Structure 1
Amino acid sequence: MERPHTPPPLDIPAGYRIADWTVKGLIGSGSWGSVHAAERTVDGASAAVKLLRTDLLTPGQRATLEELTRQEVRFSKEADHPNLVRTHAVVTLRDAARPDLDGVTALVMDRAERSLQDLVAAGRPGTPLPNAVLVLAGVAAGLAHMHAHGWVHADLKPANILLGARDAVWLADFGLTVELEGTHAYIPPIGSLDHVPPEWWSERTGVRGTTVRRTADIWAFGVVAHQVLTGGLHPFPGGTARARALAAQAYANGSTPLRLDDSLDAQWRKLIAECLAPDHASRAALDAAELARRVRALHAGTRPRSLLRHPAVLSAACVTLAGAVTALALALPPERNGTAQEPKAPATNRAAAGAVPADSDVPVTLRQTITDAAKRCTEEEVTPALLAAMLKAESGFDAKASRPATDEHGIAMWTPAVFRAWAVDGDGDGRKDHMSPPDAIATMAVFACWLDQRFKQSGLRENLPALIAAGYRTSDKAVIETGGVPKQVQPHVDEVLANLSAYTR
């Protein structure tokens, strides 16, 4: 299960004292607490104070939180490495005048400038994040140190990788970090669904929790590396964490191949493919020490620029131990030729084959939006031409189109409730609006990608563009139960296919 819904942050005024530290202001809030900027009273040294609240938790959740806090504190005290964030103090607040604070646990930690999640959220598909390889070298070094000392992070993801001054890279959030008992350990059944390995789903929770091994961190590193090197693209398609987890399981059980983004160079493609080996035994061939060595070798040829001065970042955002998104990237995506293939396989010219023709009736103002949206998916069927064919059949490219009788609106004819479940911010303005063509088209691409994976997993592989168009108009369930295009949407699918034929002639 995913962590509980995020509670509102605690209301702590600037100037509030916590032991030797003075709170300066809220940085962000997360699953079980909030993070505040602070300074040490005696010398002004900066820090971040992580407050773990318990007032909105059930007794079971409270017990879990207390255990995770103990784990985090114990690990932080034992860990000593430049790529692991440090906890300087642990304080239980006692304030009779503030019942909401009385008993709250405060962790005083290194203060970062932002989390890697900030950069991932601001990334442009196909464009590496600022100092991508430097960041990955720091992450790999931190993992190697943890594994060498018998620990597994167990929750590696961009939100738990912090970036500080002077290009510091820290692994953080050790609430799920566990000490190995031989080859494996156990953790509570929580975590980030789209960063856990496929076996997490088959080795479900027992009396002691969910089994976790070092190879879980190796898998998570592969996912993170793909995101960092491709401007935030996850290696498995889907509009939600659960959908991406489903796609990873389909790959692991052999239903679909591994398709890494075509912007990756050969050496990184090979390394990420090894990290994402479909089972624990295959993944065990690559340990964290060897991983760190290979990443260092790849980093040796790069010339890093400051993470905090990179021109693609609009502002120096505040710390985000809790994952607040505060930076935007301005770098434009490079030209990307070919579809992502199996590791070591040569890329084919997908961009040319599926591009929107220059002499088509697709509005010029929409062509780049459609092309960028298609880049969110590595399935060869989801091309700019297919998206354009679907959009023409849905709305005739009319951004104000509407079918009130069925509650469908906008250029992609989204039902608002369905859109919210898959919504993607296609234009980077911080909003997700079904009436915004960039948002609606990007979300269409993500949903089409998921449908593609879903049908392949179900054994439906013939005429996938038709199945995707049918699934978009009805549902994946309707297509799978029919074993093809449902009769009631055949005319609509025929229209999409006619459009696609015109765009790919």
Structure 2
Amino acid sequence: MTGPSHVVPVPKGYRVGRWEVQRPIASGAFSTVYAARPTAPADRLPSRAALKFLATGTRTPRQVRHLRDLAEREVELLSRLHEPRLIRMYETLLVDDPDHPELDGATVLVLELAADSLDAVLARAPRPASGPLLLTQVCAGLHQLHRAGWVHGDLKPANVLLMDDGTARLADFSTAAKLDGTHAYSPAFATRDYTPPELLWPETSAHGTLIRPTADIWAFGVLAHLVLTGSHPLPGATPEARCDAAARYAQGTEELRLSPELPEPWRQIVTDCLARTHHERAAAHDTAGLLELVDHAAGLRVRRPRRPGFRRRHPVLATVLAGVLLVAAGTTGAGYLYVNQEDGTPVYRALPESERNPVGPDGKVDYGYRRCPEDSVCFFSEHNGNGEMCSWHGDDSDWLSGAETCAWAGSHPVRSAYINLDPERGLSGVAYFRGPGFNPADADRRRLLQRTGCSTINSMGNLAGTYAPRSHRLVSSCFSLNAVIDNLTPW
């Protein structure tokens, strides 16, 4: 049995749905998270997950209503949003176990299992070298939330999770609020160090506490200062003291005390994020503009096309250009990678060397494209070789069955690829198809050359559009029509 410090204590080996509890990961004010594994192999289920237990039936009616509201907020958001920088939810469960009244009635969220949290990283090593890159991903997560009409409401290091590949995702959406115009209503709960001054005296109603997207921007400013300098931007040895300093700052009797160690490109960003009032913050930034500034400060340069919407006006030409750009990205060593903007228009992102070829403490590359084994074909669930990876030495006629499977591809698109094949094989590329058996499916039957796509040997880069391959085949050429037709004939 787990210790009494856990809000929802669950014994090791306890089974709920198709999952078996393994070990506790973290515990907050309203929930406890455990690592878990499936009790039996199943299609499209990961080999491990995180179970978040909330809302036990032993609470008072008022507490139960409050905890149910928190659970419903998180379930609604994760059910609707499937974004690269947000933690993923696989399913929700309800414990029906009268023999364990402390668990009976608990809502359980089955979530993607993270490797670490930013909170733990900062506790081990303040000012991590990966800080600027992680901040770009946190900011991207906020932009994805705000663009979809949600406010996080409790951004802090403990709610930034790090995956096996080192990338960051936002988590814990129990206090998230759905926007109704310019504002939303959230439960009256937040972490003091990351609460903007206006929420120290919040506007409340029967709907909850009024909150705006600028609350997340304030929290991002505090987080950025902490990650980059190891200190808070307002004075005080405790959260209570810093909360008092924030109140004086809002009244004009206290100033920000930005650390001299804050890198110069970040100083104006943090200053604007920590503007005294909601109106000043809103005038300085929304998350779209903030993301561009953060990218630049982190050393990522973005060149945007002059005519947005080109892909919508010329879809066929854009598709052909996307293939050419992917090849170009590979031949330049992925210094500039093709990605899609929100409206589908192409842009290039220049990656820092640390992301193109990251090396772990043991001297080995531990994430990114370089995870791809030698002489292999690798596909990734996220841009720039991040996320989950599936790799093959040769062809695969069906990714979702057989000896080698790529289970995540059944429900998540392929975002990037690395065709890391040995040139001595005499091959030129890899063609991939939505259907099994190297055949096109659905809309691909009307596409040029009757396939989803083809990447040349030694290329690495992001795939344009939303690719959902089901099979792939090594081909002698990506550009010869006869070669492609020959390779379309199943063995």
With the shorter chain as reference, the TM-score category is: 0.5 to 0.7
Distance 1:72 1:308, change over 3 A: farther
Other structure's SS at 2:294 match: helix
Number of aligned positions between the proteins: 304
Distance 1:103 1:55, change over 3 A: closer
Higher strand proportion, which one? Answer: 2
Alignment of 1:61-210 (within 5 A): 61-124=63-126, 128-210=127-209
- Structure 2: distance between partners of 1:243 and 1:214: 25
Other structure's SS at 1:23 match: strand
Residue segments in structure 2 that go unaligned for 5+ positions in a row = 301-351, 367-491
Alignment of 1:277-356 (within 5 A): 277-284=275-282, 285-300=284-299, 302-304=352-354, 311=361
Shift of 1:19: 1.0
- Structure 2: distance between partners of 1:15 and 1:234: 41
- Structure 1: distance between partners of 2:33 and 2:202: 33
Other structure's SS at 2:354 match: coil
Q: Does 1:41 align with 2:43?
A: no
**Is contact 1:36-1:48 (8 Å) kept?**
yes
Other structure's SS at 2:22 match: strand
- Per-residue CA deviation, residues 367-395 of structure 1 (Å, 9 max, x unaligned), is xxxxxxxxxxxxxxxxxxxxxxxxxxxxx
Q: Supply the AA of the counterpart residue of 1:145.
A: Q
Q: Supply the AA of the counterpart residue of 1:205.
A: T
Distance 1:211 1:91, change over 3 A: same
Shift of 1:311: 4.4
Q: Supply the AA of the counterpart residue of 1:65.
A: L
- Structure 1: distance between partners of 2:169 and 2:87: 5
- Structure 2: distance between partners of 1:274 and 1:310: 34
**Is contact 1:84-1:170 (8 Å) kept?**
yes
Higher helix proportion, which one? Answer: 1
Shift of 1:243: 1.5
Q: Supply the AA of the counterpart residue of 1:155.
A: D
Q: Supply the AA of the counterpart residue of 1:177.
A: A
Give the structure, 1 or 2, with the largest relative contact order (CA under 8 Å, sep 6 or more): 1
Shift of 1:227: 0.8
Shift of 1:92: 0.5
- Structure 2: distance between partners of 1:230 and 1:306: 25
- Structure 1: distance between partners of 2:356 and 2:133: 10
2:266 to 245, 265, 268: 268
Residue segments in structure 1 that go unaligned for 5+ positions in a row = 1-5, 317-505
- Structure 1: distance between partners of 2:143 and 2:48: 28
Distance 1:53 1:207, change over 3 A: closer
Other structure's SS at 1:166 match: coil
TM-score after normalising by structure 1 = 0.57
Shift of 1:189: 1.2
- Per-residue CA deviation, residues 112-140 of structure 1 (Å, 9 max, x unaligned), is 0111111222344xxx2241011101111
Shift of 1:144: 0.6
Shift of 1:307: 13
- Percent of aligned pairs sharing the same letter: 40
- Structure 1: distance between partners of 2:277 and 2:357: 34
Other structure's SS at 1:94 match: coil
Shift of 1:289: 0.7
**Is contact 1:167-1:307 (8 Å) kept?**
no
Q: Supply the AA of the counterpart residue of 1:156.
A: L
Q: Supply the AA of the counterpart residue of 1:194.
A: D
Shift of 1:283: 0.3
- Structure 2: distance between partners of 1:160 and 1:49: 15
Q: In the alignment, what sits opposite 1:256?
A: 254
